[in-house]
């Protein structure tokens, strides 16, 4: 029983990390109707930037994260303005191919610059337990990941629901032509949306780098995780992303306990397929014609 309780606790905490991994992809799809194939590689790029600044230049992980976010915002604005906006009116396929090309460029650039060896960002909390009883333990690193994941989702929900900028985003997502008739520059809104998504990806990159080892080709692995989270919670639903991340974490950890660690990833995919069969739009998203 204690082992099951431990698996549930760890699954919930892991779900917070999964939520911050998937929330940027959910935001981009909900506003722009764009499946960001480069999302995982952008996260890993942020991991390398944060590692470089924290370990080689500034020596402080929080300052390194701020610098990384600024650089990633500039990069995402350039990608959206000069690449995606030029093809976004021509249907979903050209935009998808553009982001696929961006992901390949990022992955190969990281291999050329940093090599193929795995890396990690030192984190003292990763080896510290906040609770360490004989039967139950709570990892400090996993707890921080969960708190940050919940905070990121709540901040994004506040921005989208309670600010004038968020009103422009919701208007663009609801009716792009109507928003343009009211004076909203929708292509600029798309650029700002991608900037928000990449800012969350930068935070996810730091958390990933402090929790797991990473290397240039791990981007697709976290892209699949992001897909799973947003498919379960519902594309475009920020609150659903948090719940989807927690559910995915629970399914993976409990399946690893009952069936072995080899079933952890497979169980997540099976759960995702079940959700797609029952509710193709996800648990919290509304169906669209």
Give the start-to-end residue ranges of the domains of the chain: 2-125+141-278
- In the predicted model, is pLDDT for residue 175 greater than 80? no
Alpha-carbon distances, residue 171 vs 74, 167, 178, 286 (angstroms): 25, 6, 8, 17
Q: What is the pLDDT of residues 28-77, one digit of tens each?
A: 887 777 778 888 899 999 999 998 888 888 878 889 889 999 999 998 88
CA distance 66 to 20: 17
User: What pLDDT is stored for residue 286 in this prediction?
Assistant: 60
Structure tokens at 112: 């050329």
CA distance 225 to 272: 10
Nearest by Cα to 42 from 86, 74, 15: 74
Query: For helices 140-162 and 238-259, what crossing angle results, to 10°?
Result: 160
User: What pLDDT is stored for residue 46 in this prediction?
Assistant: 92
Q: Residue 176: in which H helix or E strand, if any?
A: helix 176-181
Q: Give the percent of the chain with pLDDT over 90.
A: 12
Q: Give the percent of the chain with pLDDT over 70.
A: 95
- In the predicted model, is pLDDT for residue 287 greater than 70? no
Residue 136 CA to chain centroid, in angstroms?
29
Nearest by Cα to 142 from 152, 129, 133, 132: 129
SS3 per-residue string spanning 7-18: HHHHHHHHHHHH
Q: Residue 48: in which H helix or E strand, if any?
A: helix 39-52
Nearest by Cα to 213 from 132, 119, 144, 142: 119
- In the predicted model, is pLDDT for residue 2 greater than 80? no
User: What pLDDT is stored for residue 288 in this prediction?
Assistant: 52
Residue 4 and residue 254 in contact, taking contact as beta carbons nearer than 8 Å: yes
Residue 222 and residue 44 in contact, taking contact as beta carbons nearer than 8 Å: yes
Query: Which numeric CATH code is attached to 2-125+141-278?
Result: 1.10.3470
Structure tokens at 267: 């169980």
Q: What is the pLDDT of residues 115-130, one digit of tens each?
A: 888 888 887 766 677 7
CA distance 16 to 58: 28
Q: Which of 64-73, 237-246, 247-256, 266-275 has the highest mean pLDDT?
A: 64-73
Give the residue, 218 or 285, on which the prediction is more confident.
Answer: 218
At residue 131, φ and ψ (nearest 5 deg) are -120, 130
Confidence of residue 289 (pLDDT cuts 50, 70, 90): very low
Q: What is the pLDDT of residues 185-233, one digit of tens each?
A: 888 888 888 888 899 999 999 998 888 888 888 888 888 888 888 888 8
């Amino acid at each position: 029983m204690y082992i099951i309780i431990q698996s549930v606790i760890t699954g919930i905490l892991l779900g917070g990390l999964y939520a911050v991994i998937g929330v940027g992809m959910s935001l981009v799809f909900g506003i722009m109707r764009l499946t960001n194939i480069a999302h995982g590689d952008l996260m890993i790029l942020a991991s390398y930037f944060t590692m470089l600044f924290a370990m080689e230049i500034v020596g402080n992980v929080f300052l390194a994260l701020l610098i990384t976010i600024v650089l990633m915002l500039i990069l995402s604005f350039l990608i959206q303005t000069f690449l995606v906006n030029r093809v976004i009116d021509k249907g979903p396929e050209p935009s998808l191919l553009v982001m696929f090309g961006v992901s390949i460029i990022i992955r190969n650039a990281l291999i050329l610059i940093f090599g193929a060896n795995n890396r990690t960002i030192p984190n003292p909390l990763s080896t510290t337990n906040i609770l360490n009883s004989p039967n139950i333990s709570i990892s400090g690193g996993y707890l921080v990941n969960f708190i940050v994941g919940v905070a990121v989702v709540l901040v994004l929900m506040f921005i989208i629901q309670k600010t004038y900028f968020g009103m422009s985003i919701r208007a663009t997502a609801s009716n792009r032509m109507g928003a343009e008739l009211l004076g909203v520059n929708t292509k600029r809104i798309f650029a700002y949306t991608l900037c928000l998504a990449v800012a969350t990806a930068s935070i996810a990159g730091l958390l990933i780098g402090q929790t797991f080892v990473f290397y240039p080709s791990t981007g697709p692995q976290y892209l699949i995780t992001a897909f799973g989270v947003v498919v379960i919670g519902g594309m475009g639903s920020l609150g659903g992303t948090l719940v989807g991340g927690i559910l995915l974490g629970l399914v993976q950890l409990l399946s690893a306990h009952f069936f072995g660690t080899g079933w952890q990833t497979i169980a997540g995919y099976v759960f995702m397929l079940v959700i797609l069969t029952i509710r193709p739009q996800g648990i919290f998203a509304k169906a669209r014609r």
